Amino acid sequence: MKILICLLLAVMCSSCAKEHNKSSATVGFLSVKREGGLPLYDISFSSNINLQDLYGRGEGLGQASTNLNCALENDSDFSVGNTIERSAYGLIEKSPPGHVQGAFNYVTRAFLSETRNKGTSRRNLSVDELNSILANKTDIPCKVVITAYGYRPYYSNTMHIPTADLLREINKPRSK
């Protein structure tokens, strides 16, 4: 009986998430750069709103996660419940000022990876796999996804990363 009551309470509270009533941020691609000899890519972008203080409580306060998620293939369902199989994914950090005047500038250090076993593990994609996946694309779509305690997920407008820029970095000789 206790389990039934707890389950009923959980179901009732899950529908209590508040709407955030925040407009979708306009995010713009600035650059991508591979980090040394690692398969780690710095994706720089700007936003017209402060993504790390979306709810006005202070930077990062009350936010469970603040991520950039990019679909490398054709799955552009960025909803929290969907796992994009092949993606670029990472936490958002503020970058030094100066990229875009009057905007908030961010960088995400992302691995280009494949999600396996229904989201329980990730594997970095090889250079050959990435070249094959991106060969016939002009860009890849990305969204900022923010989750916060007591609120429904927040999604930015779609940002497009030119694949030519990404492939340049993927195929750049590895430094040691």
**Mean per-residue pLDDT, 106-131:** 87
Which pLDDT score is estimated for 7? 47
pLDDT mean over 125-139 = 94
106-115 pLDDT, tens digit per residue, is 999 999 998 8
Give the lowest-confidence range in 66-70, 71-75, 164-168, 171-175. 171-175
Q: Who has greater pLDDT, 33 or 7?
A: 33
Position 48 scores a pLDDT of 92
Minimum mean pLDDT range among 17-21, 31-35, 132-136, 145-149:
17-21
Could you give the angle at the alpha carbon of 75 between the alpha carbons of 112 and 173, nearest 5°?
25
The predicted pLDDT at position 37 comes to: 76
Of the candidates 94, 143, 133, 86, the one whose C-alpha atom is nearest the C-alpha of residue 113 is: 86
- Predicted local confidence at residue 4, as pLDDT: 46
Q: Does pTM top 0.85 for this prediction?
A: no
pLDDT of amino acid 59: 62
With b meaning 16 or more CB within 10 Å and e meaning fewer, what string describes 14-53? eeeeeeeeeeebebbbbebebeeeebebbbbbbbbbebbb
Contact between 31 and 86 under an 8 Å Cβ cutoff? The reply is no
